[in-house]
Amino acid sequence: MPVDISSLPCQGQTVCVTGAGGFIASWIVKLLLEKGYSVKGTVRNPADPKNSHLRELEGAQERLTLCKADLLDYESLKEAIQGCDGVFHTASPLTDDPEQMVEPAVNGTKNVIMAASEAKVRRVVFTSSIGTVYMDPNRGPDVVVDESCWSDLEFCKNTKNWYCYGKTVAEQDAWDVAKKNGVDLVVVNPVLVLGPLLQPTVNASIVHILKYLTGSAKTYANSVQAYVHVLPGVSHPHQQTERSCQCELSPRHELADSGCQHRTVSVV
């Protein structure tokens, strides 16, 4: 039975979620629909069965539109973002192959912010990563990282960590482009995200754990890894950053000199 959304505060507002069929994005779409938003979700192939779970979500029939868009196709993003009040930019490759990673992450993110600027959306929430924060060999192991920390690009390159490299350049450029174009940007930097899957396929962070359960990983890295649950740890903070468009900002958000710009590290 369709839910009566007439009393929900977000009813009538439209939000775009890029890479809607992905692990984190599917949860964001679900929560946005539950709150009464209309959602335009970008996917590369709306007909692909791997995206069909989105159409099953409560409220999807009435308020979810799947738009075909690629991060490197500006016009497709522009069409999806046009008419939206906000954008959640989660789409990204998750790989250490430099050719597959860097250009879509960096230019794709710039494209999203430019399209959001053209469409005059109220806010862009970008899912960055802890990978843009912690990769710095010159920082001592006891230092607590926070929003002021950045990964060292040379170190990422030398260690062939192209995921962290791509996400770091993407985030740095995102701040730059947003500032130049007056876009209200919020960045969320999650650690490794786990939790129930809405989508029928496994994503990279689930594979990270699965490989130990299936035995395909024979050794454990001698290092520390932080984890966060997809729901309270990542999807809800994304929601709060959208809601905080209209209300006061929490003290964890840092305001940049141009006004309403903040970066949030999401931890366990």
Ligand X SMILES: NC(=O)c1ccc[n+]([C@@H]2O[C@H](COP(=O)([O-])OP(=O)(O)OC[C@H]3O[C@@H](n4cnc5c(N)ncnc54)[C@H](OP(=O)(O)O)[C@@H]3O)[C@@H](O)[C@H]2O)c1
Q: Which residues are annotated as catalytic? A: 167
Which lies closer to ligand X via its Cβ, residue 8 or residue 204?
A: 204
Contact indicator for 25, 91 with CB cutoff of 8 Å: yes
Which lies closer to ligand X via its Cβ, residue 13 or residue 18?
A: 18
- Closest separation between CB of residue 31 and ligand X, Å? 14
**Closest Cα to residue 141, out of 221, 220, 219, 223?**
223
Contacts of 158 (CB under 8 A, 6+ apart): none
What is the bridge-based pairing of β-strands 262-266 and 192-194?
unpaired
- Closest separation between CB of residue 12 and ligand X, Å? 27
Secondary structure of residue 265 in the 3-state scheme? strand
Interface with ligand X (CB under 6 A): 19, 21-25, 43-44, 70-72, 90-94, 104, 108, 127, 129, 167, 190, 192-193, 203-205
The residue of the chain with the least Cβ separation from ligand X equals 22
Secondary structure of residue 46 in the 3-state scheme? coil
- Give residue for tokens 């109220």: 122
How far separated are the first and last CA of the chain, in Å rounded?
36
- Closest separation between CB of residue 6 and ligand X, Å? 32
Tokens of 12: 């009538």
State the burial class of residue 103 (Cβ atoms within 10 Å of its Cβ: 0-12, 13-18, 19+).
middle
Neighbours of 41 (CB within 10 A): 30
Angle at 25 between CA 21 and CA 68, to 5 degrees: 45
Which lies closer to ligand X via its Cβ, residue 23 or residue 74?
A: 23
- Closest separation between CB of residue 81 and ligand X, Å? 13
Which lies closer to ligand X via its Cβ, residue 99 or residue 182?
A: 99
- Closest separation between CB of residue 214 and ligand X, Å? 18
Contacts of 46 (CB under 8 A, 6+ apart): 66, 67, 68
**Closest Cα to residue 186, out of 268, 247, 262?**
262
Which lies closer to ligand X via its Cβ, residue 36 or residue 189?
A: 189
